[in-house]
Structure 1
Amino acid sequence: MLPILIAMLLVVLVAGLVLFYVAFPHRGQKPAQAEWLGEAMTKAVNRFETLDETDGDAAVRPRPDEPRTHA
């Protein structure tokens, strides 16, 4: 029972952080109460390679030089 409770709390915490990021730093706004958290999340996101809106479906489309396989 305790592992399930810990896992659920972890899931809720991660979901809250995602909502916070989408609500503030992703849109370029600074949160009024937790500026340190917004700055930390922005730094963390900048460390990873992410897709932006201009990439579109480039991440899922096959490259032209790769043969297409049909299942």
Structure 2
Amino acid sequence: MLAIVLMMALGLLVAGAVAVYVAYPHRGEQLPVAPQLGDAMRRGVDALPVLEDSESRV
């Protein structure tokens, strides 16, 4: 029972983080309550590798 509750809480936390990212930093706006969190999210996404147009067409 405890494992189910913990997994549900983790799922809600991840879904909330995705919703906050899409609502603010993805559009280039600052989070109204915690701008440091938005900056950290943006730095984390910028660190991920991205395929360029020439690399995506195989």
Is there any run of 5+ residues in structure 2 with no aligned partner, and where? Answer: none
Question: Does 2:23 match 1:23?
Answer: yes
Identity of aligned residues (%): 46
Given the two structures, how large is their TM-score scaled by the length of structure 1?
0.70
Given the two structures, how large is their TM-score scaled by the length of structure 2?
0.84
Distance of 1:12 and 1:2 partners within structure 2: 15
Partner AA of 1:3 in structure 2: A
- After superposition, the C-alpha distances for 1:3-25 in whole angstroms (9 at most, x for unaligned) are 01000000000000000000000
Partner of 2:5: 5
Partner AA of 1:9 in structure 2: A
Q: Relative to structure 1, is the Cα distance of residues 48 and 36 closer, same or farther in structure 2, using a 3 angstrom cutoff?
A: same
4+ residue segments displaced more than 3 Å? none
Greater share of helix residues, 1 or 2? Answer: 2
Q: What is the correspondence of 1:1-71 to structure 2 with a 5 Å cutoff?
A: 1-50=1-50, 55=53, 59=56, 63=58
Is there any run of 5+ residues in structure 1 with no aligned partner, and where? Answer: 64-71
Q: Relative to structure 1, is the Cα distance of residues 51 and 13 closer, same or farther in structure 2, using a 3 angstrom cutoff?
A: farther
Aligned pair count reads 57
**Larger RCO of the pair (alpha carbons < 8 Å, separation 6+):** 2
